[in-house]
Amino acid sequence: MALSTTNAAKPAALLLHRCLAAQVTRAPRRAPISSISEFRFTDERTGTNGFHTLLRDGVPLHLHPSHSSSRGGRVRIRGKSKMIPRKAALALTPKARDIFRKMISATGSEGILLKYEISSQHALRMAFKFDLIKDAKVELTAQDEGVSLEVLQDGVTPKPPSESWNDNLPKLYIQYGAFMKVLGGTLDVDFNPETGEMTPKLLDREGFEMDPNA
């Protein structure tokens, strides 16, 4: 009888041992620590671009530099510099480009700032305005985006952001508050040679003049 009881207990003990072994988990292996990986994304609602840092348990996820996104996104290794857009946020007419360059040269300015703010002539109305930039380090912020006033060797094609972003040349800057309002449009200028006054004229993608209050 005793032998029978011992033999019956063996399968039960073996089953208990297997159950306990199954509860033992190993710590997951992580990729070699190299650099914080950030992936480019586009906000479909606003059309703006940016980078998203991957997190694990609230801590930036570290991946090997050879990793890349499955959807063709570019991995950004280290560095927190502003992403360079593929094309300028705003197109300039040849007339506007020429006037801006002459105005900057005549005044010794470091650029021109396009603003979108309350009109000084009409109460409760918005308006596009220009300001000459005397000190870019003081008057500009990281959210203000520059548009090159230069053209390529053909004399027609605007210099793209990839070549002009850090060329340290005077530019037309779009104030962050005006960016979404003028994005994708074309900027022309009404210039009064007697007073030197420049009035912005924004055109939409169809070529119609934009209403600042629309």
Reported as type and span, the H/E element at residue 55 is strand 55-56
Q: Which of 17, 48, 77 is the last residue in one of the domains?
A: 77
Q: For the segment 120-171, what is each residue's pLDDT rounded down to a tens digit? A: 887 789 999 999 999 999 999 999 999 999 999 998 899 999 999 999 999 9
Any idea what the CATH number is for the domain that residue 166 is in? 2.60.300.12
Q: Which of 77, 103, 133 is the last residue in one of the domains?
A: 77
**149 C-beta neighbours (distance < 10 Å), count:** 22
On whether both 147 and 177 belong to a single domain, the answer is yes
Ranges of residues in the chain with a pLDDT under 70 are 1-82
**148 C-beta neighbours (distance < 10 Å), count:** 20
Range of the domain at 156: 91-203
On whether both 117 and 185 belong to a single domain, the answer is yes
The C-alpha atoms of residue 118 and residue 98 are separated, in whole angstroms, by 27
Answer yes or no: is 67 within a domain: yes
Answer yes or no: is 85 within a domain: no
Domain total of the chain:
2
Answer yes or no: is 61 within a domain: yes
- Predicted confidence at residue 9, as pLDDT, reads 52
Cβ contact 160:87 at 8 Å: yes
**pTM passes above 0.75:** no
On whether both 130 and 156 belong to a single domain, the answer is yes
Q: Phi and psi (nearest 5°) for 13?
A: -65, -40
Answer yes or no: is 25 within a domain: no
Q: For the segment 112-126, what is each residue's pLDDT rounded down to a tens digit? A: 999 999 988 877 899
